[in-house]
């Protein structure tokens, strides 16, 4: 991979569900250690982008490349390509401890990037060491959300997809999350995040891709996107939803 090969390259992605065009010729990149935010009103197609990148939906047209190579054809191939994601609904296993939840991705197919002490290191990084033995369902929502993030980080991803990481969090937890995302970027991890919380997006993103009705209506730095008159309608929709 040459140094200017994007970590993620989405080209001309078009996804349809029956007669509905959910994504229409969507193209963008995420570079090394870059944080890119996908924003747009409800139904704009953000989650469908994630699902296409993770091979959960088959595009009608377009390509997804990771480190210059076609994305795996099934989600099970993602960890070995250095990709992981969080889910909007967290997807934690109730009745299992924090540590057990975080260890889940390390069970099953061999993951060459995993290191034996990855789980304790990730728990420490996210301030969860003291909760390692606590059943996950005994924790308040912000901690559970951090457990879900820890689980995504335990495989040492080079591309992390975060689905609404700030959703349901208060100001203090959002500030902590911003620090975590910046730390990931400093360590060379690329981040693609879907988020409705506009202040958080403008704080952490290097670039912002704005989707509306399945099309990219703007792409640029947070300041460029904020100043783009074409974004205003979608932007106002976002503020109403935040
Ligand atoms: N599996 C599916 N079958 C049919 N339609 C779908 C499916 N998944 C998504 N859609 C439709 O595709 C469009 C884009 O949905 P998507 O969930 O990607 O939007 P979004 O921007 O993530 O919205 P939100 O902010 O509400 O999560 C919507 O009209 C949605 O109803």
10-61 pLDDT tens trace: 999 999 999 999 999 999 999 999 999 999 888 999 999 999 999 999 999 9
17 lines ligand 1 (CB under 6 A): yes
Same domain (yes/no): 68, 170: yes
Domain carrying residue 226: 1-82+158-242
149 strand-pairing partners: none
Summarised one tens digit per residue, pLDDT across range 93-152 is 888 888 888 887 776 554 545 555 788 889 999 999 998 889 999 999 999 999 999 999
133, 156, 179: which is the final residue of a domain?
Answer: 156
For residue 201, the CA-to-ligand 1 centroid distance in Å is: 21
For residue 42, the CA-to-ligand 1 centroid distance in Å is: 8
40 lines ligand 1 (CB under 6 A): yes
Same domain (yes/no): 50, 146: no
44 lines ligand 1 (CB under 6 A): yes
ipTM over 0.95: yes
Q: Is the pTM of this model over 0.80?
A: yes
Average per-residue pLDDT for the chain: 88
Residue 24's pLDDT is: 97
Task: Supply 94's token pair.
Answer: 């109730």
26 lines ligand 1 (CB under 6 A): no
139, 156, 173: which is the final residue of a domain?
Answer: 156
For residue 183, the CA-to-ligand 1 centroid distance in Å is: 31
How buried is 203 (Cβ within 10 angstroms: 0-12 exposed, 13-18 middle, 19+ buried)?
Answer: middle
7 lines ligand 1 (CB under 6 A): no
Mapping DSSP onto H, E and C, the string for 65-97 reads EECCEECCCCHHHCHHHCEEECCCCCCCCCCCE
């Amino acid at each position: 991979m040459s140094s200017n090969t994007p970590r993620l390259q989405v080209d001309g992605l078009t996804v349809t569900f029956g007669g509905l065009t959910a994504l229409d010729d969507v193209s963008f990149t995420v570079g090394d250690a870059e944080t890119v935010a996908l924003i747009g009103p409800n139904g704009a197609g953000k989650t469908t982008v994630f699902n296409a990148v993770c091979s959960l939906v088959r595009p009608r047209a377009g390509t997804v490349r990771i480190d210059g190579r076609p994305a795996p054809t099934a989600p099970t191939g993602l960890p070995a390509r250095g990709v992981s994601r969080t889910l909007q609904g967290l997807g934690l296993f109730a009745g299992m401890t924090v540590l057990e939840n975080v260890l889940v991705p390390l069970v099953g197919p061999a993951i060459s990037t995993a290191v034996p002490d990855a789980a304790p290191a990730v728990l420490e990084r996210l301030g969860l060491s003291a909760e390692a033995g606590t059943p996950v369902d005994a924790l308040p929502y912000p901690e559970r959300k951090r457990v879900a993030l820890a689980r995504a980080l335990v495989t040492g991803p080079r591309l992390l997809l975060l689905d609404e990481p700030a959703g349901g969090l208060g100001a203090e937890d959002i500030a902590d999350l911003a620090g975590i995302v910046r730390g990931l970027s400093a360590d060379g991890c690329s981040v693609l995040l879907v988020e409705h919380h506009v202040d958080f997006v403008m704080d952490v993103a290097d670039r912002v891709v704005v989707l509306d009705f399945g099309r990219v209506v703007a792409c640029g730095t947070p300041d460029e996107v904020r100043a783009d008159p074409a974004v205003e309608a979608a932007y106002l929709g976002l503020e109403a939803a935040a």
